[in-house]
Amino acid sequence: MATQTLTDKGTKKAHGITNPVRKRLYTLKEAALYLGRGEYGMRELAWSGDIPVVKREADRKLYFDVNDLDEFIETNKTIYR
């Protein structure tokens, strides 16, 4: 019967086994990278109401829900001919 040691945990991390929890809110910069757009382009999508934002008044930062980003992708897909 083997117990997990600190080296076993380090080995898992070294092999790319990480926590599978997916991040829910992305910063403006992260959301821009996720969609392959510039930061200003993300601001325009937020200002136009095309993508909802989570905004904290305390720090004035914009956060984007990854589910909204995925929905934006799905609704804007088209077949190019």
Domain ranges for the chain, please list them: 22-75
In the predicted model, what is the mean pLDDT of the chain? 85
| pTM value > 0.95 | no
Taking the alpha carbons at both ends of the chain, their separation in whole angstroms is: 61
Ranges 46-50, 51-55, 59-63: which has the least confidence? 59-63
The model's pLDDT over 33-43, given as tens digits with 9 standing for 90+, comes to: 999 999 999 99
Would you state the structure tokens that stand for residue 65, as one six-digit string?
Answer: 């829900």
- Cβ(40)–Cβ(47) below 8 Å: no
- Give the Cα separation of 4 and 1 in Å (integer): 10
Whole-angstrom distance, CA of residue 68 vs CA of residue 72: 6
22-75 has which fold?
Multidrug-efflux Transporter Regulator; Chain: A; Domain 2 (1.10.1660)
The Cα 36–Cα 30 span in angstroms is: 10
